[in-house]
Structures are given as C-alpha cells and as structure tokens.
Structure 1
Amino acid sequence: MKRAGDELERDSKRQKRDYRSLDSTAIFQDSTQEKNSSELLEWVPNEPGFISGTIAMRWRLASGNYRVKIQMFSTVHGEQQLEAVFSGNCAGELHRREVEFKLNSELLLSLDGAVKEKASGSKTTLPIVLKYADGVALQLKAPKQASSCLIDTWFRETPSEPPAEEPPQATPTPAPGDWFATPKANRLPVFAIPKSELMAVDEELSPSPPEKPASGRSIAPRKSAEQPQPDKPLNNIGNSSPIPTSQSSSRLARMVPSASADVFHPPKASAPKENPQKHRDVVAPALPKAARATTTSTSTSKLPNNHASTSKLPETTSAAAKPSAPRSPSGPDTAKESEPILNKKQRKYKKKQEKRKALKADQASVPAASTSTPSVPAYAKPPLVKPPSVHMERIPTANPTSIPSPQGPAPSSSSFRTPPADPVHIPAPQPPTPSSSVANPPSAVKPRLKVPWPCIALSEVKGGTHGWSTNSVIGVVTSYTSPTRTGKGDWTCCLHIVDPSNCDETFIPTRYEGLTINCFTPSYPQWLPTVAVGDIVILHQLRAKTGNDFMDVVVNGYGDKLKWAVYDHQKGEISHGDLGDAPQSARLGADGYGHQFSPFYHATAADSDYCSTLHEWWQGVSKKRREAMGTVHQIGAGPSLSHGPKRKHKLASESQPGEYIDCTVRVIHGYQTDGPYRLYCTDATRLDGARPYQISECPRSLVEFLFQIDMWDGANEVGLTMRPGEHYRLRNVLVKGGRDGYVEGKMSEAKIRKLDAEGEDAADAELKALISRLQPHDDADADVDDEVPLKLIAQMNEREFSNCVVELLHKDESQRAIYVSDYSSHPKIPVINDVWAHGLDRCVLKIMLFDQQVGKMKDFVVGQYYRIMDLRLRMNDKRELGSTLAGQESLICPLNPKSSSLEEWKQGLIERKNTLKSKNQTESFQQTAPRPIEISSPKNRRNLSTIKEVLESTKCPATFFVRARVVDFFPFHLREAFIRKCTKCNSPIPGNRLACHGCNDVEKKYVGVVCMLRLLIDDGEDRMKVSVSGKVPVLNGIEPTLLLDDPEAARHFSKHMRPLLNNLEAVHEGIVTNELVEPSTDTMITLIIDNWKGKGEELVYGLRDFEL
C-alpha cells in the first residue's frame, strides 16, 4: 500500500519558525515579504514579513528600553510614521551588542516576534506600536556608510557538547507490510483553553499511555526532557511536541465518550508533567524524537481518513458530569501542578471564552438528557472523539447508533476497567430544530464592510492619554444644529451621529447612544458640515479628549483640521452642500498668509461602499424603531392603569413652577443658542415671575405676556421650523425656575402640533379662546409707553437684575466693552483713570459684552442715551463692581422719543450731569488758580523753558529745564505705581497673572517690575504730562518691587516722593473717604525733563530729576 509520509511530513507553521535556528535576517532578501503602511495595519502576529524606512527619532529610556520612530514611504500612501519599542531580553541583547540607532539611518525591521498594539494616530502617524520583548532581526545602515549591519538576537550558536541526558531513541522503521506512518503531533497552543462541562471529569478520563516499545522505555519524565531555551521561547514552541500533562489531558477529556461504562483506565498511568517555565508566554519544552514518536497516539494529529474518527460526541448526561472522588495518581501536588501558568493576555482570552460559552448556553434551547440517546444541541459543535487505543476503526455515519447509557455511578480513583470489545458508535449531529431558530431571531442587519482606514468605529473614539487625540469617523446624523456665532466670533454647529458600534438597534434611542461632535470654522458657515437627519457624514481629523467626569468624551472639529463630506444616498455619491459665496479653499491665518486649506474631504471608493451599507443598515434600524413606537402608541390607546392626576391644558397664568402643562400659544420670536432652541411665545396671559423682556420683534403690548421655552433634543428640531405668528399646541412643557430666579419653560419631546385657525382646527376651543385674548393686543397702538421699572446705578445691589437709563461715554472694541454712566455715584465702582472720565470718579460703569451684544456694538454712538435691560452688578477679585451682558436678546436699545416715562428719566440724567460738571469746574478752579506765591530762583542759572516751549520743540532727543509744580499724579493710589512687565514683548502683565500669557512664560524668565508713575505739571500757564520710569536719578535708592505686597517699601517710596508731590497723596485719600484736603502745591521747583520718540513717532516726555 502507498505510504502517506510525504503529506504528513510537511508542517507549514514549523517551517516559519525554522529560520530562527539559522538566520532570521534571510527574510530581507525576499522583497515580496515587505509590508507597506496599509498592509501593516492588517498584519497579524506570527505572519512573516518586514518593513523598511529611516529612523526619524530615537530615545533610550531610563528603564533600559529602546524606542524609535520609523519613517516609511510609499508612492501610494506617502510618508507615514510609526513607533517601535524594544524591551526585555531584546533590549538587553541590543545593549550587549552596543547597537546604536542613529538618525536618518536606513532600517529593515523583521515583524517576527513583534506584538502590535493600538496607539493614538494622526494624519502622518499610524495608530499602532510594534513592541519587541523576546528578540528581533533587523538591518541597519548608518548615513554615509557603504556597508550595513545585520543584527539577529534570535540566533544562538549550538553548544559543542550535547546535554548530559539519555540519548533519544531513534524512531523505529515501519515494517514493509505496515502502510501506516506515524504522523506528527500538533504543537501545544500557547493559550489555555477554558474548561467546559466535560472538563469536570479530567482526572478520571485520562487517556491511556502508549504501549512500551521493545526496549522497554516509556515516555521520558520532565527531568530527562530537553529543557527550553530561555532566549528562544518562540523557537521552543515551534519545535516542541505536547506532553501528557494535566492541561493536555483536559483537552483529551473532551474527545472521549462521557459515559462512565466506556472509560478505560490503564493500570499504570504516567504522572502529569509540571508546568513549563514562564517566559512571557507559556512554553512547552521539547521532547526527544523517541518521545515524540511514542506520544502521537495521545495527540490530535492529522491521521489517515480510515483511522480518524469523524463522528461527534453527544451532550453528556448529568450522571457522567458528576465524577466521584478525584484521583491523584502522582501524589498530592498533582492538582496544583495541573494549573497552567497564564500570562495576562491568556487570562483575558480565557475569560472571554468562558463568557462566550455562558452566553451560548443561555441563548440556546438545550434538550433534556435522555437515558437512551442523548441529542446534540443545535447551537454547539460536538467535540471530536478519541478512543483509548492507538488504532481506531472508521465508523460509517450513514446509520449511526447511540452510545449505551451509563450504568451506575462514576468509577472511583482506584478502580480500572478493561476497554470495550466493540467499537464505539456515535450518532451523527442533528440539524437545528425550528424552535431554536424561532427562539433566537437574527439581530438587525449589520454592515458587512469594515470601517475604511483611517476611520474607526464610534465606540473606539477615546481621549488622548495626556490631552487630545486625533480620530476620523463615519456615522449617521440623528440630530444637528444650525450654524451660529460663538463668543469669539467663530461659526459653530453641533452634530450627533451613530453607527452600529454604539447604537441599540431594537429599541427607542436614548441620550447615551451615539457621539456628539462640535464643529468650528473661523470665516465661512458653508465650511461647516451641511447635513440633514439620516445623512451619512464623513468627518476626518477630529480632536477628542476625556471629559471632566472621566467617562464622556469631548469631540471637536476645528477649522484648521476638520475635513468632511456627506454621502447622498439617492445619487450614490459624495457631496459637500451649497458653497454659495464661500471659496473651495483659502489660506489660514488672520492675515491670510497661512497655508492653503480646504475643509472638504474627497472620499474613496471604500468610503462610498461603506456609506452605502451604513445607509441600508440605518433604514432597517429606523423601520424597527417606528414599529416599536407604533406598538407603544397602540398600548397607550387602551385603558390607562395609572390612577395619578392627568396632565391638564393650562394657561401661563395658571401654571406653577415644577409642573408639566399643555398649552396653546402664538410664536413671537425664536433663535438657536449654543444649546437649546429658545422660543418666545404667548397665550396672552401673564406668567407670574417671568423675566421682563425687551425684544424688538415683540409688540409692546405683549412684552409682559411673553413665555420663554428652551427646546432640547427632539423639540429642538421642531423649533427650527416654527415661524412667528403661527399657533401651536405644546404638550408636556415643564414650568421651572431658572438660575437667575425667573420662571421659564423647558421641552425635550417633539410633542408639538401646528394649528390651522382657518382650516381643520377652526373649531378648536383652546385656539378660539387664544385668538380672542390676543385680539385686543393686535388692535392696540404700537406706541404704548414702556412700564419697565428703572433704577439708578447708585441704587443697584450686587447680583440683582435691574434696568437703567444711561449715556454712552466710551466704547472699546478691542476689549468688547462699553463705559456708561447715569451720573450717580456708587461707592464700590472702580475709578476710571482716563481723560474722558475725568471728574467722574465712581460714576462710570464698565460693561463687558458677549454673544449677540458684541455684534450690536458697532451701532452704538458715544453721547447717545440708551436703556439697558437685565443689568446685574458682580464683584471681581479686587472687590470692585462690574457688569456683563450676554445672550441673543436686544438688551441695549435707544430711548423711544414717544415714551413719556423714559423722557422723564432722560431729563433727570441730564440734570445730574450738569450738576456734577459745574462742581468739577469749581474744584478745578480752586486747585489750579494762581496764588500769590513767592517764586524762588533756581540754584543753578540755566536756560529755563516754559511748558509751551517744550511742547513746541521738535528737537529729539533733548533735555529741558522747566520751572513748574506737580498738581496731580497717576495711578490714583501711589502704592500702585509699580507693576509687572514682560521684558520680552514689553507689555504690562495684568494684576491677576504672574507672568506673560502671550509669551508662554511658564518659568517667569521675562517678568520684570517697573515704575509706571505719571505726573501732571503746571507752570502757571500750561500743563503737560511726564512719566517717571526706568533708571533715572529721581528713583535712586528705590528698589523695583510691588508696593501692594510690601507695605514697608510702600512707605519708603511715599516718603521719597513727598518733596516732589507734597500732600497730593493725602488729597487722593481724602477723595476716597469724602474728606476735603486742601492741596499744598505753592512752591515751584526745577524739573529736568527728557524727550524721546515712542510708538507712532510721537514724542514722549519723562522726568529725569528735580531741584528744589
């Protein structure tokens, strides 16, 4: 007969490992094994191959590991980078050989022994890391070197002397008439197979050992076996055969009949082997060739068809699953030795397998055990059967018979039975029963295609380890917002998308599914994704980070990185919406000199195929959800079992905070905020506790009857379609108190119905009542006086909303702030030290503007009178009051000339302004009027100049001697004369910061303290301002320091400047305490003044020194 040795001798997996014993670098000669970036992403461990590139960066870590960044290049994918880490034995061997990874060196890196792990990727970085722990083969060629260096840490020279152990016995040559060739045994897998129901009887179902050969030798014990080589762990796996340990016995236990009557126990069973040495993975030691030949009878190797059993094992009965007292043939430590040593990855795999089996056992309908013929479950594939003898008969499966049921209890640990004389008969597997198919219906259709690279599933979007990570996704749009402006002036919109990885396909959607993405662009709203509900959108270069609660993920798409495209399922192509006047691409940067950028992504064929499949999946999910929604409505139509109070239709005046109501309203105005859609409506009744509104779109007679409703989620989408003047029925509206104390409404469900007063809803009683209540307001005069309560700024309290009439004094568009006054003084408002605010100490209020208020700033006119609504004073860290205005409402409006009440407030403001102006003129005259003083002559006779001559002189730089006196100084408090200043950008540092934020001065290298004192001098005819700063003689003996933090230095500086300022510091303090202190600026002194050119070629004057 024909010998079957050729087929059995070939073992492909063995051949892949054999090259390590020779030279692992031989793979570099085969160019077909080279992997590019896309092939590397799909590469799986143990698959041969190598990569090529150059070293772009390298690190030698403190732990002794090596870390390099490899730059790969291909004409298809361009330049891509990835990282490789060498640790453990691999790093130790590289260090021993003094391997140096130089920059720009050419590198050929074998993938053998590599472990691929996920990492955060980017546009030019692959999202994987290759880690080598056991060994590596590579080729290095440093720059400007002709030859390359081959490194193979797997290769070891074999020892000259064989190990001191019994030489292995040669495999016996088969007889000429024996056609059977002993096959090779399968290698023991690295991972441990989880236990099943049949593995509870492992100790009693141990396979019988093979018969002893003629020499009388049995399987060599572990001590005489060839020990594994620690430096070649994977090579040991590839060249080893299974040993009959308890682990292999557990696998064989699933391959023998479970009936106790058919179990055969040999009189002398060999003891299970100890667990192999743990070296990063579980390693099976190699056996001598004779041992390998004798152990093949207990393995699951490839056998000839006429000797391999093709039958399946039926489900074991309860009697067979319960063993008797466990048997320990090799001593009390057998159970401990049988536990395999698993690494972290193997333990994880074992748990996953156990969960998977438990899930199948719960879902499948397993028939009850029978004493005659146990049936095979439809969900499980029965295990293979291994009879206890070496030679097995082939059982025909045409007419199978059943195994006899077990008789009596399981055998004890010391009892043995002889093998049955008849061959084992096993029934063929039965097809799945119809009941099992009905009990487990298939889930919704999933897309058959994988997510195209570099996109990932939505469930895999994670925040970066130390900040933001870059991701690309494809999903179905379930909700979106219209483009709006942010506080910084950028355009923004919000998308909520789902895909099969984070979507419950059989139930109504919840707030936890999907992913919310915020998109931004600086210039054109058309550059934001133009989508509709149900569209498939492709988003590239998103930035993600972990939220503050360490659970949610914040995902943003920024204007200089985000690229998007929308799949049109009707045309089957990718589109980017209507651009309008927006360009296809533009240069970034405020000056338009940045790099060219386009936010539109050009999809590939793989993207289009995946989008098409995703659309089909979403259609199936939508259909299921509509059916589920319909079922809910049908149940709700029946008799209600709830005995609680039902929600009633109420007017706004009848509602109370904390209750849900149904109402019929007319839409007045609405707009989309960064969160909800804000709707202003009315039912012509006054809501108690509502905010006093001032909206230009609202008739004045209805201002007091406005009802604000914030619409979220499903109500948000409907709110975008609601137009002013239309009537709606709103259901399930929550009346609640806002954070500011005013009452408002909130909706989350799309329970909104438009009413037609002239059509089918003409007979609606609630609608007819609403129209009748609104009729008087529709006929009223549009010029009704406003009756909003007003206050003076001096009467306002902190954190209280108030309305006032003011005059606009100044606006600063760079700070987005306006300065107003009603000429009433508040003791906690800071003093504004500017020329336009002279004489208005603590009468000028600074208001910061945000949101829509910033856009209206250009329409404000200095000197115009305005009415400000909802103004609230707040205390800052300096214990000074300020205010802010934000939102989309018109909070600053010019005064209505037809309003009599506002006209009265305007006249009162003008009277206070004139009174304060006349008072300031009187005080100024008293302080600056010439007095009969004795003018002392200067000690040094120099050419003196007047202030007029100094200001008219064009000579620069120049020095002047002026006879004058100091009449005022700035800042208001002398202790604030020294400030922090950045020496790099020459800009002052705000008081609430310790370093320059613009220069990113974290280490405070450029922080300096300078004097910023300003003096107002008078020579009896003219006045001018001079500065006191820098290293000048007038500041000799003064150390630059912050006087606010050093009271002793502040007292010293005040004493040093007293000859120059006289009692002006006491005059300023008296103004704060409302005490009148007469200034004593009688004596003229000689001031030495220098000039120089400042910004804009303007002359700047500074005080160098003075003489009494």
Structure 2
Amino acid sequence: MKRPANAAHLSTENPRPFKTTRTLNLTEYFSDAQFEVPWLEIPEVVKDSREDADDEPGWIIGTVSMMWPNVRDPKIMIQDSLEKQLEIKLTKSSAKLLDLGFKDTIKISLQHAQVESRRGASSSSKLPFLLSFPGNITVMYVLKHGNSDLDGTVIDTLKREDQLQEDWYGTPAPLSVNGDMDVDLKVLRSQAASPASGPTRALSDAPSSPLDGSFPTSPVPKLSRTNCLTSPSTPAPITPSPNEASQVREASSPLPPRPERVADGVFLSETIPPDFHEEDRRPTSKRAEDAQPNVKGRQPLNGTDLNQKPNGVESTRHPEAKKEKKKKSKKSRYKEGNQKPASPAPPPPPQRNPALDMEPGLKTPMSIYPDLASVRVGWHSVIGVVVTDFQPQVGKGGNPFVTLELVDPSNISDRPLKVTCFTNKHDIFLPPARKNHIVLVRGIKVSEWRGNLNGAVYADRMKWVAFDPSTGRFYHAELGGISKSDADLGPNFDPFYMPVDAEIDYFVKLGQWWRAYTEDDQRPVVVCQPSTPREHKLIGEMDSNQFFDATVEIVRNDHNRDVQQYCLLISDYSPHPQLHSAGYMGQYAIQCLTDRLPKEDLAAMDAGTYWSVKNVRLKYGRIGTLECDFYDVKLKQLSEESASVNARLAELLKRKQDYLTMCPHEDPSKTPDSGLAIVSALKEHGCYDIIAELAYSCNDVDKCTDLYVTDYSRNPTPSFIPDRVYKKISDRPIFVIGVFGDRHIVRDLDPDSTYLFKDVKVVRNEFGKIKGKINYADKNIIKVSKRSNQESVISALKALEQRKDRLYASQPIPTMGNDTSSSLRHRHVDQETTTGGIRAVRASGKCPNKFRIRARIVDYHPFELFDFSAQRCKKCKKEISIKLRACVDCDDVSRSLSEWYFRFFLRLKDENGDHLVISVCDEAKDFLGGLNPSDLRADAASLKTLTDRLKKICKPVIDYHDGVEEQPGLESPLLDICIKSWPITVEEVPKRAYAVTGCEIVV
C-alpha cells in the first residue's frame, strides 16, 4: 500500500507498526498524524487497502459544510482548509448514530470506504469522486459545533452494535439532578431495604439501545457509581473475562452515602460527593479484547430496584438497612419532640441555564443571518429580539415607518441595532415593534450615522416575519380586507416572508435565550442608548447632509405667492467656502426655500430678527447650489436684549459687528424701504431688485452668462458693451448682469420679455464700468407681466412703459430700409399687414390667428445648417436619436418606420426692434422651395441646395454662423412674411407658439 507523504519517516525494520485499528486505541489512532491521508490520494489509498485487508488505510479530516440526512441515501459534504469539497454517502442507520451537525469538524477513517465517481455538474471546488460507506463507519469529533463536551469522542457504528448485544453488564445512566428522571432516592432505599417482592427484570432484558439515544464514546466501558450490582448466584456458571471481573468487583464496592433530595432537585443535610455524576475512568488496555468503546449506562425502567441483581438475587449493599429499628422509650421520644430542628445546610449555588450559552447567528443554504454585533456597512438580513415598543409613524413624504431595536446574545451588552422600516401606503405592511417578540427582516441597508450603525429597509426590498415566543408561532400582519397588491409593488409582491425549518428552530432558541436572560438575576440591564445629541455649530463649519443647531439672523423674507413658497435669506455671519461670492452678503448668507413652517413663525420672520433653529441641515438644491433645509426644524425667536444671558446670541452679534466693520455697504439697515429700484439709481456695492426687459444674452466667458437688460433709464456710470453686441440693442440704455452657475436657466429666457431680477449685487469690472452679479438664477429671475397680483410690480411695469414711450418719442424709430425682398413670396395676398408689427402680434387677444408682418431674420437655430433635419418615427411620432437610426419603442428592426423631416427656428426682428421666434417645421418643404428632407450630414447636395436658398433671405447670419465674419455687418433683407399662432401649455402654464405659414423662397 502507498503511504501518505508525511509517513515516509517510519522505520524500515517495522514498516507496518500497526496492522489494523482493532489493535490500536481509536483515540490514539486518530491523534497519530502518520495516518492522515491527503484528499487527492484517497482513491489510491483506498484501492491499496482493499488489496491488503490487514493494512490500515488512514483517516481524513474536514468540516461539515452541507448535509442531506432525510433523503433515501443520506450524505454529507465536508470541506478542507483549501475549500475543497468532498461528498460522503452514508447509510440511514449510520447517519442517525453519528448525529452530525453543520460546522462540525470531524476525522473519518477510510476503513470500509469505497470510491465512486461523482455525478452532476463539474466544479473547481468539488473533487471528481465521492466516498461511500455501505456498512459501518468510524468517526471522531475534533470540534463539535455547539457542544464542546463531545470533542475527542470516537463513534464506531459496528462496535456500538456489537457492544449493545453482548455486554449484559451495561452500566445504567446516572440519575439526573435537574429532573431528566424524577426518581426519589428515599423510595429506592426503601426498596433496597425491603425483601424483593418478586423477580426483577434483568438488565440483559433491557432494550438494546440506550433510552437517551446515546452512543459509545470510548473503547473502555464505564460504570456509574450509582450501579449496585453483585455477582450472580443462581444462573449457570459464567466465566467472565478479566476486564469484566474487575468491573464487577469495583461495582460491588460500597459508595459514599447518598444525599437526601427534596422537591425541585435541592439536596439537604448531606454533602453531594464531588464525583457523584462522574464516570469511572480506567486506563485503556493495550490488549485487543480490552480496546472496546464505552457504552453509556441505560436508564432504569420505572419500578426497577437498583439494589437487585438480574435473576432476583438481592444485593448485600447497605446491610444496615435490613436491621429492625429498636422501639424508643417515651422519654426519648419526648426529648426528640422538644428539640429544635437542625438548620438545613445552605443550598448549592444555582446552576447556569444552558440557554444562556446560545451561539448567535444562522446560516442556511439560502441565507446568512450574522450575529448583530458583527453587522457592518452593507446589505444584511438579521434576526433579533425587539426590546422597545414602537408605534408606526408617518415620515416627511407621507410614508409610514417603524423603528426596531434588536438584540441577540452578541450585542446584549452593547447598544441594540436600530432598523427603520419604510413602506409606501399602509402601516400593516410594516413589521411589528412589540417588546419580547422576535423579528426577521431581509434586505436591510446598514450605514453609519453619527458614529453608530443604523439599518434602513424600504418597501421594494423588505421581507419580514415575526415570532411570538409565548405561543411558539410565527405570524404576519392581519390585512383586514386590504389586498397585498396595495403595497404599490405589483400584484405578485408582498413584504411577508415564509420561514424555513432552520429559521423557525433559531426563533425557538432565541426565545429560550431571551427568557433565560430576563430571568437571570445577574444579567446586565439592557439600556437603549439615545442618539448622540445635535451640536450647536456655525453654518460656515458644516458640510452637506449634517444636522445641527444654529443661531441665525433673518436677512430677508420673500414670499413667492405664485407657488406659495417663502424664500429666506439667513446668516450667522460665518463665511461658507462653498457659497458663491455673488449675491447679497456673498458667502456670509445662505438661502432657504420652505413652505412647511407655521404661519405664525413666517409672519414673525422679519428682516433683522434673531432665531434659534434646531435640526437644520445644509443640502444641495436641484441646480447644485448649497442651501438650508428647514423641513422639520424647531424655531424659537430671540430678542436682542437677551444677549446678556444667551452666550450664542452674544457671539452672533459680535460676528455681525465685525462683518459690518469689514463691509459697511452691506448693512441691512441701510437698504431702501422700496423693494424695487431703477437702473439709473444703482450704485457700486449695492444690492437691488430691478424690473427690466431682456435685450440680449450671450456667453462671454466660462461659467458666466451676460444678460443685457434695460428699463429705459440711463445710469451715470453705464455698463461696458462689446461692439458685436452694440448693434443688436438699438441704442437702448443697457445694464449688464452676469449670471454664474445657472446658464441652462438663462438659455430659456425670452428676449424682449420683462423679468424681475432679485438680489443683484452691483460691482465694477476691469473697465471701470458698473455691472451686476446675480446667483440662484432659477429663484432670482422671475418673469412678470401686468397680470401680476403684486401692486409694486404693476406700478414698476407702468413706469417702464412710460420711460420706453418717452425714449422712442425723442428719437426716430430705427429702420433698416422700407423695401421688402422679393426672394420670399406668400400665398396670403389678401392678408393685411399687421399694424404695430411683432408687438401687436404678441398683444393679440385672438388665438389661433394669422398675421402678416415686415421683419428681418437675425438668427436661426440650430447653429449648424446640417442639423436642420431630424429623424422621427412614423408610428409614434417620436424623435429618433442619430445614433440609433430606428425607433426602439416600436421595435423597428427593419428601419421602415423612420423618416426625415425639417426642424429649425428663425428669430425675426421688425422695424420697431421687437423680436419673435417662429418655427419652420410643418411647412418647411414649401418654405424651402420644394426641397425634400434628408440626412443633411450625409447628403452634401441637399445641404448645398439648402444653404443657397437660405442665403437669399439671411446671408449675413449664415456668414456669421460659419465664421466668415466675426460679427454680423450687413443686415438681412426685410421680408414680407406671414405667421400663425396657436395656444400651447408648458409646465401647466398657457403660452403661445408661432410658425411660418404660406411662405416660399423664390428659387
């Protein structure tokens, strides 16, 4: 036989020191490293052992990773330190006797093993063969998971069967003190003292298996000291072996006196022998016939006298019990009656409940439930005991939620794990937060919050089941007629989880542990530690998504009645580096939009008032700017006189004084009472709200968009206007406002429309001219009209119109030639020219309508002419991306549903200088002289035709877009053009759209 590599050092004189395990104690055999077989050499070793039956093949070691005990052919899967897996097949009887468990580390003898090829899918972690034990198997527990008392125990299924059938001197199991067998020792003594009433049942007639289902644990049988057997006298002569004779002699030796037992297993008046529950430990014999496994003693049946031998022979033990008691005199009885009873001996210390030693955590084939102390940041499923009652509440978004505080043996001395569960609609879909109940929750996201780990689970991932230890049943919520589909997660999803057997067993064990823990007088008190209190901080020191308390001053309070929202500008006079320097007070003030504060608090939040704000945080708004969140704050107004007793308010006033010393021009007390100003009154270092028309917008530098606005009033220090922009503003007085960070908002502004520009900070640029700076464009640029419900806005608009009329009355209306171009003709020859031009078109109360105006093309969109055509689906009319070439929604695999169409826009400017944007989409083919739409990026001929025809009506604009000219020089020809209007809705706001109609470029 080929030996393992680690056995090569054996002596050559005796190459086989041990023939079989029958000549060797099994414990010594399994502890000998020379017999360990590497897993890859198992087939060869087993094959050689069959050829030489006397040779011992050796043993293997592994950890049980999977088990199939209840199938027709039971089997287990063991794993080595290299995570290689080996499948082992057993018989049903062997599987029951071994009683293996998950995570048990065992050694298996290869004696009687057979190697078979493994079926199923191949895997790099599984060996290509398996071991089968059709007969007996010998196993040693190296590390019994959950029961360290069995470590080192050897189980031989064949020896166990032989021992139970041959050894009639089997030792009965010791009596249990804790009530496993409730036997009164006084009754047993009385039975031993009285004559036997009849032949008792011999121990050899007892069942062949022990009552407690135990198995032999060592090669030498052990006898309990409670066994009182003598050698038989009546049966036929039996010649016992030397080992059996020594066992009988020791069993016949007298034992120490038994303790008296009273109710509930408490012993009094006598001392319990220290070895009362111990078994005899005899030295292991080296002879083969003595190398037999121990057999645990059988429990005596009810009515069996321990002082009787089989065949009815009485035991000579306790001979004094047979003596008749002498009759006591009256004097003796009188003295005994008057004597005080002796004080009982103190009871022994209470024994520790085994349930307290429960090992937390569970691993099933489908899930892993870690002990709560080992939970880290990530996704987990947990099982724990609820230690605090908690009623469901409603969150900020209107969704119900509940908080669970869970413990298990691992975190009982630490803080409980806090898990918050959210659902969409009904709180019955939430797990119950009932004290002393056990809850399983799956799909928890654990994150760190204020130095502690907290879990959160949401409706789309949550699965739960609860267990009541008092009834021993798991349960879900009673829906009360509500359908499971009302969870808003589809008809086939609900948050209720059905546990498997392993999880239910864990519920029971956890409930027993919690019951034992709550009944233990020495247990530590479970303290649910509150969250770390919020700290009072300065706004300039905080990052986003951190809650804190602050003391602030209300700098401004603006109410936007259109959306019923309040815009607060607050400051604690600490600069925040992530705030932009533009705007009022720059980095020293931060904005807050809110519509949830109480009305009485909002009414009292005037500029210059001081407030204590709790539970505030910083966040990034939808445009990426930093702002304050006042969602669930607690407010308290402070008076300036209380600074003598309020240290935080005193510090705020000191910081404010330092700021005003550094920036005296931004003293809030010096701002005018009127909220609106005109351009002619603007001064450097001021911050104003103005109403003006948007004349032009362009991107001059990176991260800044310049708006050229006018309210038709001239400032003594006018803004700097580039030459390329000067021609576009028609000699109107212009004020330049630079917008930072919100350029996507500025691109959607309509020229010649009137806007309210808020918090415009006036500064000087590098040319010595004044210029405005504005931040938060989406909040501080608001379109206004005469239909506004604010009187100040209406009066400002009337004043703007009066200044505009005076300006145009004092100078001629700019004209660019009165002759219209003949390059464009229209079919509506009977349509009269609209008096007033574009301004009359906008002011028309009839919609839809048609108009005929005289105007020039000053710009077009898209910027490049080859983008004037686009692709769309004929079926759903959706635009198709140029990268796809086909409609994905309609599954247009053959590209038969795609078509090209013209889509571009023109900006018109009339003789009065008013602008209007019109679309050229529906009638684009007729407008371009019958040109068919196509892919202009690929069709160079069509692109050239389009360019030549458009140059007839807007050649200067095309040259400017193509880079031929740095700025438009010559104006485009004046066109007699017809347009139409129709109503549309944009973001629930009614608007009008304009398009060209009935016009055609003359080819």
TM-score normalised by length of structure 2: 0.38
